Amino acid sequence: MNSNVAQHRWWHGAVLYQLYVRSWLDTNGDGYGDLGGVIDRLDYLSWLGVDGIWLSPTMPSPDDDWGYDVSDYLGVHPDLGTIDDMDRLIAEAGKRGLRVLLDLVPNHTSSAHPWFVDATGSRGAGHRDFYVWADPGPGGGPPNNWLDATGGSAWAWHEPTGQYYLHNFLASQPDLNWWEPAVHAAFDEILRFWLDRGVAGFRIDVAHGLYKDAKLRDNPPETATGPMAGKFGQKPVYNANQPEVHAVYRDWRRIAASYPDARLLLGETWVGDLSLLARFYGDDDELQLAFNFPFVFAALTAPDLSGVVAETLASLPAGACPVWTASNHDVGRFPSRWCGGDERKIRLALLALATLPGTMVLYYGDEIGMTDVDVPLELQQDAMSRGAGNGWRGNRDRARTPMQWDSAATAGFTAEQVTPWLPVGDNAAVNVASQRDDPGSVLRFCRGLLSLRQAELGGQIAGYQALPGPPGLWAYRSGSLTVLGNFSGRPVVCPHPVGAVLLSTIGPAQPAAGGITLAPWQGIMARNPDAELGD
Ligand code: NOJ
Ligand code: CA
């Protein structure tokens, strides 16, 4: 990769790290992580080998949805710090070569945002059309059948002005009306405000959802099943997923491109159809990265993972950079969902994530194998999952607990006498302090893996080639590497030749007649055999 490309496409082959600020490190003893805590541990992130951090929401918010209900897009939440702290964070990260992405929430605001407060003043209010208002349906009641994220009607009645407003999430998160040009102008300014301050770009919340059907037609019943199917029996055809959203990303891409160093747009593109996912890349003129939820929800089996990877790579336009991640603050942690806490599986999953061509996104704690925490109902803080009944797979707080820095009662997240905002998980062995000094730990494995990835794959976004193999084996070439993974509980013999073995997830690579024998859940990274170098 020449340096010009590296500068302009720095996310190619990069490792991004999703950092849930409230749970990272509390430096002022209030039980919440803060920007001071992020600054304090930048050296850890450099040591680990990540290239950029995505900060979970940092803007002022009443926290009905922990920052995804923004009341001021140009500020910093007082619990987390000040705008000066943010400037300092961006500068300190920059000194270490780390880029900072902010979480941008354009689908909805908080009902406490001054735009919504104004909009509710009267039907003629200046910001009325910033939101989606509608008269009651023909028989009275909500204008249509759309449901919100908790399974109730997506419409809230506003008595003083005699209309309903739309909320695809909580009633205190009114949806913005992207048919209104002034909303576009407002967000253009918001993007520039932060880009001017030096952020490297944005993770865009609900990136598929900004536009709603102009005719407000009823959603049809859901016929599909599985984790990507519409919730509550309804297929979200009309209250999201409208094609007009692509023009917004073309505009934002132009804004990003107007800055001298490359700025990144990474979408939370919650779509089950990979051909629709591909559309968010546009003709290399929309988002540069789009999260791949079919991959997140694939089972940890060779056919499922290799199938989604093949379909993804076949669907994305040439030159598009795939994104591989498996944990986040909504879907939970892969060491639990995929691995049931089994360290062999955790290492194998990390190996796959790190060797697929594209961008890898780690969630804080993935690198030490942090698992979900069974947060009791009375300690849960997430109104959406508490109120949603069957709407979410368990509670979302399970994956938002404090980063486990050490084995103390408060995990080194906050002072011993302070109660963290969410309880600490099982940190006896799963913590940074003990793993950092243990060459056999998951943390040291992950760090070594990221370093090999950087050295061997660099900025690679293509060059994947699946290899056939016996059941349980997922084998592929990725650039100059051959990766072998045994996704089964029985030994498998891999028939393919490999060059020098660079890393094994567990134990040594065992040569056998006819190939290499992989122990249950063992993975191996090797160089390609000489004859196939450069394929
Ligand atoms: C997706 C975010 O990741 C989630 O946490 C939030 O509740 C919804 N969008 C609404 O903003
Ligand atoms: Ca704090």
In this structure, which amino acid lies at residue 324?
Answer: W
Q: Choose, from 205, 372, 382, 397, the residue flagged as catalytic.
A: 205
Buried-state track 167-192, b at ≥16 Cβ within 10 A, e below 16:
bbbbbbbbbbbbebeebbebbeebbe
**Closest ligand 1 atom, CA of 396?**
5
3-state secondary structure of 55: strand
Q: What is the Å distance from ligand 1's center to 529 Cα?
A: 45
Domain ranges for the chain = 114-166, 462-527
DSSP string, 388-444: TGGGSSS-GGGG-SPP--SSSTTTTTS-TTSPPSS-----SSSSHHHHHT-TTSHHH
Q: What pLDDT does residue 384 have?
A: 84
Predicted pLDDT at 109:
99
Q: For a substitution probing ligand 1, which of 70, 104, 205 has the most ligand atoms within 8 Å of its CB?
A: 205
Supply the CATH classification number for the domain 114-166: 3.90.400.10
Continuous segment of H or E residues that includes residue 346: helix 343-355
Active site residue 268: yes
Neighbours of 133 (CB within 10 A): 21
Task: For residue 100, give every residue at least 6 positions away whose Cβ sits within 8 Å of its Cβ, in sequence order, or none.
Answer: 52, 53, 55, 89, 90, 93, 198, 199, 200
CA geometry: angle 403, 98, 267, nearest 5 deg: 80
Catalytic, out of 64, 268, 330, 372:
268
Cα separations in angstroms, 133 against 129, 138, 163, 250: 8, 15, 6, 27
CA of 380 to the centre of ligand 2 (A): 19
Residue identified by tokens 């979408």 is 267
**Which residue lies with its CA nearest to atom 11 of ligand 1?**
68
Helices marked H in 105-211: 114-119, 181-196
pLDDT of residue 4: 45
- Tokens 């979900």, residue located: 372
- Among 64, 68, 150, which residue has the most ligand 1 atoms within 8 Å of its CB, making it the best to mutate? 68
Compute how many other C-beta atoms are within 10 angstroms of the C-beta atom of residue 353: 23
Write out the chain's pLDDT in tens, 535 residues: 334 444 579 999 999 999 999 999 999 999 999 999 999 999 999 999 999 999 999 999 999 999 999 999 999 999 999 999 999 999 999 999 999 999 999 999 999 999 999 999 999 999 999 999 999 999 899 999 999 998 999 999 999 999 999 999 999 999 999 999 999 999 999 999 999 999 999 999 999 999 999 999 999 999 999 989 998 999 999 999 999 999 999 999 999 999 988 999 999 999 999 999 999 999 999 999 999 999 999 999 999 999 999 999 999 999 999 999 999 999 999 999 999 999 999 999 999 999 999 999 999 999 999 999 999 988 999 988 776 654 444 689 999 999 999 999 999 999 999 999 999 999 999 999 999 999 999 999 999 999 999 999 999 999 999 999 999 999 999 999 999 999 999 999 999 999 999 999 999 888 887 889 999 999 999 999 974 444 4
Calpha distance 83→79 (Å, rounded): 12
Contact, 214 vs 180, CB < 8 A? no
Using the 8-state DSSP alphabet, how is residue 498 labeled?
-
Ligand nearest to the CA of 27: 2
What atom of ligand 1 comes closest to residue 384's alpha carbon? Answer: 7
Distance 31 CA to ligand 2 centre (A): 6
What's the gap in Å between 408 CA and the centre of ligand 2? Answer: 18
* DSSP-assigned beta bridge partners for residue 464: 478
Question: Considering only CA atoms, which of 443, 440, 438, 407 is closest in space to residue 424?
Answer: 407
Residue 218: C-alpha distances to residues 137, 141, 142, 214, 237 (Å): 11, 14, 11, 11, 9
Residue nearest to ligand 1 atom 5, measured at CA: 330
Residue nearest to atom 6 of ligand 1 (CA): 68
Would you state the pLDDT for residue 3?
43
Q: How far is the CA of 69 from the centre of ligand 1 (A)?
A: 9
The ligand minimizing its distance to the Cα of 203 is: 1
Q: How many CB atoms are located within 10 Å of the residue 43 CB?
A: 11
| Nearest by Cα to 142 from 121, 161, 165, 124 | 165
Rounded distance between C-alpha atoms, residue 8 and residue 6, angstroms: 6
Q: Give residues (CB < 6 A) around ligand 1.
A: 65, 68, 105, 169, 205-206, 268, 329-330, 384
Q: Coil, strand, or helix at residue 43?
A: helix
Amino acid (1-letter code) at residue 36: G
- Dump the DSSP string for 73-100: TTS--TTT--HHHHHHHHHHHHHTT-EE
Chain center to CA of 220: 28
Return the CATH superfamily for domain 462-527.
Answer: Golgi alpha-mannosidase II (2.60.40.1180)
- Closest residue by Cα to atom 10, ligand 1, is 68
User: Relative to the alpha carbon of 270, which ligand is closest?
Assistant: 1
List of residues 6+ apart from 443 with CB closer than 8 A: 48, 367, 368, 432, 435, 436
Rounded-to-integer distance, Cα 501 and Cα 228, Å: 37
How would you class 393 by CB atoms within 10 Å of its CB: exposed for 0-12, middle for 13-18, buried for 19 or more?
A: middle
Which residue among 23, 61, 65 is best mutated to probe the pocket of ligand 1, counting the most ligand atoms within 8 A of its Cβ?
65
- For residue 2, what pLDDT is reported? 39
Ligand nearest to the CA of 392: 1
Instruction: State yes or no: is 366 an active-site residue.
Output: no
Cα(132) to centroid(ligand 2), Å: 36
Rounded CA-CA distance 219/237 in Å is 6
